[in-house]
Structure 1
Amino acid sequence: MTTDTATDERTRVDGARRRAGAREWIALVVLMLPVLLVSVDNTVLNFALPAISEALRPSGVQLLWTIDVYPLVLAGLLVPMGSLGDRYGRRRLLLMGAIGFAIVSAGAAFAPSAELLIAARALLGVFGAMLMPSTLSLLRSIFIDREQRRLAIAVWASGFAGGSALGPLVGGILLEHFWWGSVFLLAVPVLLPLVVLLPLLVPESRDPAPGRVDPVSIVLSLTTTLPIVYAIKSVASHGFGIDTAVGIVIGVASGIAFVRRQRRSATPMLDMALFERGTFSGAVGVNLLSVTAYVGGLLFVSQHLQLVLGMSPLEAGLVLVPGLVVMIASGLVIVPIAKRVRPSIVIPVGLSVSAIAYAVVAMSGGRLSALELALIFVGLGLGIGAAETVSNELIIATAPADKAGAASAVSETAYELGAVLGTTVLGTILTASYRANVVLPESLSAAQRAAAGETLGGAVSVAEQVPGDVGETLLDSARVAFDSGVETAAGIGAALIIGAMVVARFALRNAR
């Protein structure tokens, strides 16, 4: 019997629960720092894209990779890092990740080219993967009482989801006064208190009977996610080709090999038996689908506000504040409701509001005012904020205590993979539609045509370099071309949320 399991058993035998005190709740505040930072980092670049486009002149594919490589590497390494935390200490891994993340963030702020910025973002994904599994799994060991743990996870999930919406606001404030690299320097003052306070407030936690490190499984986890996302991106770049097919084949084959290896191993990096629990698998599915829809929506909303409606980064960020507040509030309000209403009911009801919000965007064809977009973002945040709290709590509650790190990693892998897919799938649709529909003035140079034909941000930059009437013609065409893809993207977003509703209704029907 493990130490954590023995503790739970003693509390049941004694008929009393171990209640968390002030120290544990202060520890929760400290653990929220990396949660907010990593989730802010997922979306803060959405609002810095115009400035990055102008400063570094990336191609459309490079621009997508700048956003996607961070959550992609993060998603690929979360399970290995969660397993390493179980073996060597979750607090230790969290400290290592915090120090590395702060150092690389400072370097990314001064990247002189798109290639180096992409490389820095990839390295941030490595250290970010050390941060995230540790935070949620440490909550499992700090909050023994399930009622308190449910509230703590609600705060954690609200911070994670809310941080994604907070990213544009933080980015807007920084970009209003500083250069684009300032969004990376944010990590240094946020993580410094964590490094100081974590050893004082949070006890070390690990699996008392860890298995060996499996480098082959780590490689397989990466070769499962990276080639598939590359294949999706290659379709956006030049259509379906041999590289796309190769990427899909490698990803699927690696995924099958990874699952088989875990099933044969006496001490697997990821216990596949967890997925045989309907509640666990269903909650992971809800996480994946709802976050894909949410991050994809945030991608085109943030660009529409700045590049179509002409708002500054700060103004655009302020438009999303009501949605941020509602998302955090819904994640907390759902806690007492979830104690009395089954997840198979409360999650679909909440997500139905988000589905309606997406349907409105699809029917409008993307031609929406700032006020309308603010209300739509409120609808997205209301349902998804509630769903994330309930699903994350179910994932942790249904996993054995000694596998908290691995279970937490699965939860966050679903979130990060959802962030990747949201940006990749919906971003690919927007990029492809833009390229197919934009009409470029004949007077543009070859370099200007290449930049304006790649992205809306590139068109805005080129429009500032050409005579006024040519620039206006280019902007009008570029904005119409961008909005032409929003209708399709929003329809897919609504379908993803409906899919999450169906998964919750049937996979979680036995969960309480």
Structure 2
Amino acid sequence: MSQQHTAPGLRAWLGLTVVLGPVLLVSMDGSILFLAMPRISQALLPTADQALWILDGYGFAVGSLLIASGNLGDRYGRLKLLMIGATVFGIGSALAAYAPNAELLIAARALMGVAGATLLPSALAVLSELFADPRRRAQAIGVFAAAFAAGFAIGPVVGGLALERFWWGSVFLVNVPVVALFLLLAPGLLREVRTKRAGRIDALSVVTSALGLLLVIYAVKAAATEGLSGSTMIAGVAGAALLAWFARRQLSLRQPLMDFSLFRDRLFSLAIVTGLLPLAAWSATAYLAGVYLQSVLGLSVLHAALLAIPGAVVLTITCVVTPSVVDRIGKRTALIACHFSIAGGLLFLLPTAITGGIGWYVTATVVTGIGYGISFSVVADTAVGAVPVERAGAAGAIAETSNELGNALGIALLGSLAALVFRLQGPDLAPTLDETLHLRDLAPALATEAKTAFVTGLHVVAAVASALHVVLGVVAVATRRGGGGPGSRPVVAAGRRGGRRRPSGPAAGARRRPAGEPARSRPAERR
């Protein structure tokens, strides 16, 4: 069958440009606080636990609600959800900018996270409507991924530039004009898209998944900052049990929030895990490196921000070129390169010391940027290409959930590991390095001890994250799948109903049942 959708019109490319605005904001807000946290800590004096929630509360809110939001957009309208989410995101940004204390800042960040959860899956799903041809769609998703990656990468740069001239709240106010421009242009360029077979959202699944994640993350952070206690262990066990019950419930629902049948495809599963782990490594090392550059080496906010630019450039370029490279080498080979480049790049953080290490830091960001760029692009295209167009929001939500949960869990788990190392090896005068260095009459020897303990924590986190990526790289090498070669990219043919499209091509026979609609999700055929 010949391709019918080869040249997207001007509306498609303009629509993509408009969609990139919210994408940049949502991803940028996941990292913009890395360099701003020392300034926020001085202004609001948060506790160590509050500081972690200021950082990862946003990512947790986004990650825990993405699945529900993806289904909401598919069933009730993606453009409608985009408009509502952008409006709430702008309001939350304004509230965060003027928060008078840590508690209200955490609440405002959570509100922004709830809004961000509505933006990402719908924005990614819109691309399936704008770009029907799979190769054009892959190119558009590469640009989408580049914007998403660039947002994470330039967040610290934008934050550093704003903090050089304005107060800490300015890092949130930059969102407002972008939101206003999107609300003005989106209705004219984007069409409303929804599935014709809308069903209700399972509220119990939404609540149990969100509560389970909350309890698990709380338990990990509390154990790292305060040590194990009975309440911490109870919270962790309860959270894990809720998540297990959530997964079991999805298998019995006709219209689950998360379609676990997609994970029968091994390459799809590996891609989703790839969406989580690199973001966990990136967010944790970026946060710790921001503290290292400012509090250990004594660099200014702007200087530290500018050092992130080389890695940001490599990351963005890699996202754009990855779809073309994948056409030649296949997704499996791309995932192998992703994990081993990140693993190798993280090792360049190990020579850093309290007396210097800027060159090692920049080298680490450049090398890991290649792997992060591959991750962003391949994960999104694999998820959206695995399902029919009417379910693109739900599938895209799985990909974005892995990214956002990786971001949140990177701070919670790997950040807590660094906090644990600091607590065990530091002078034990305060829970964090910044609090320790701001103690009155602190002896120089104790300051050096605190900095050394912090750098040791950074090294431990880098080594652990590198080892995890080596493991995933080995798994990718061992994964054998017929569609892993250059011809693995699915092509789109006419669907079986109403002209809808679904993946087809060399791997379609092996993938159709697990990666497409499962039998239970076709109520019309059952009747």
Could you say which residue in structure 2 is the equivalent of 1:22? 10
Distance 2:383 2:331 in 1: 12
Cα drift, residue 255 of structure 1:
1.8
Cα drift, residue 140 of structure 1:
1.4
User: Structure 2, unaligned stretches of length 5 or more?
Assistant: 489-527
1:458 to 411, 418, 435: 435
Distance 2:351 2:482 in 1: 36
Cα drift, residue 211 of structure 1:
1.2
Could you say which residue in structure 1 is the equivalent of 2:245? 257
Could you say which residue in structure 2 is the equivalent of 1:487? 459
Cα drift, residue 473 of structure 1:
4.1
SS of structure 2 residue aligned to 1:42: coil
Moved more, 344-353 or 105-114: 344-353
Count of equivalent residues: 484
Could you say which residue in structure 2 is the equivalent of 1:206? 194
Distance 2:190 2:443 in 1: 57
Distance 2:75 2:154 in 1: 33
The correspondence of residues 104-503 of structure 1 with structure 2, limited to 5 A, is 104-362=92-350, 364=352, 368-439=356-427, 449=429, 453-462=430-439, 466=440, 470=442, 472-503=444-475
Contact 1:46-1:299 at 8 Å conserved across structures:
yes
Distance 1:139 1:507 in 2: 29
Deviation string, structure 1 residues 491-510 (Cα, Å, up to 9, x no partner): 11102222332343344733
Q: TM-score, normalization: structure 1?
A: 0.91
Contact 1:343-1:504 at 8 Å conserved across structures:
no
What amino acid does structure 2 have at the position aligned with 1:82? G
Could you say which residue in structure 1 is the equivalent of 2:43? 55
Identity across the alignment (%): 37
Contact 1:366-1:487 at 8 Å conserved across structures:
no
Contact 2:341-2:371 at 8 Å conserved across structures:
yes
Distance 2:390 2:479 in 1: 24
Cα drift, residue 250 of structure 1:
1.9
Distance 1:503 1:418 in 2: 19
SS of structure 1 residue aligned to 2:83: helix
Cα drift, residue 18 of structure 1:
4.7
Contact 1:331-1:386 at 8 Å conserved across structures:
yes
Deviation string, structure 1 residues 20-39 (Cα, Å, up to 9, x no partner): 12221111111111111111
Moved more, 407-416 or 332-341: 332-341
Cα drift, residue 15 of structure 1:
4.5
Moved more, 495-504 or 303-312: 495-504
Cα drift, residue 316 of structure 1:
0.4
What amino acid does structure 1 have at the position aligned with 2:378? V
Contact 1:90-1:138 at 8 Å conserved across structures:
yes
Contact 1:71-1:416 at 8 Å conserved across structures:
yes
Q: TM-score, normalization: structure 2?
A: 0.88
Deviation string, structure 1 residues 64-102 (Cα, Å, up to 9, x no partner): 111011101111100011111111101100110000010
Deviation string, structure 1 residues 114-158 (Cα, Å, up to 9, x no partner): 111111111111111111111111111111011111111111111
Distance 2:260 2:128 in 1: 20
User: Structure 1, unaligned stretches of length 5 or more?
Assistant: 1-11, 441-448
Could you say which residue in structure 1 is the equivalent of 2:503? none
Moved more, 252-261 or 28-37: 252-261
SS of structure 1 residue aligned to 2:350: helix
Distance 1:436 1:168 in 2: 29
Deviation string, structure 1 residues 414-453 (Cα, Å, up to 9, x no partner): 001100111112211221222222227xxxxxxxx5xxx1
Contact 1:289-1:500 at 8 Å conserved across structures:
no
Contact 2:127-2:141 at 8 Å conserved across structures:
yes
Cα drift, residue 388 of structure 1:
2.0
Contact 2:346-2:368 at 8 Å conserved across structures:
yes
Contact 1:286-1:504 at 8 Å conserved across structures:
no
Contact 2:351-2:360 at 8 Å conserved across structures:
no
What amino acid does structure 2 have at the position aligned with 1:501? G
What amino acid does structure 1 have at the position aligned with 2:403? Y
Cα drift, residue 364 of structure 1:
5.0
Change (3 A) 1:371 1:363: closer
Contact 2:346-2:364 at 8 Å conserved across structures:
yes
Change (3 A) 1:259 1:351: closer
Distance 1:243 1:288 in 2: 28
Could you say which residue in structure 2 is the equivalent of 1:70? 58
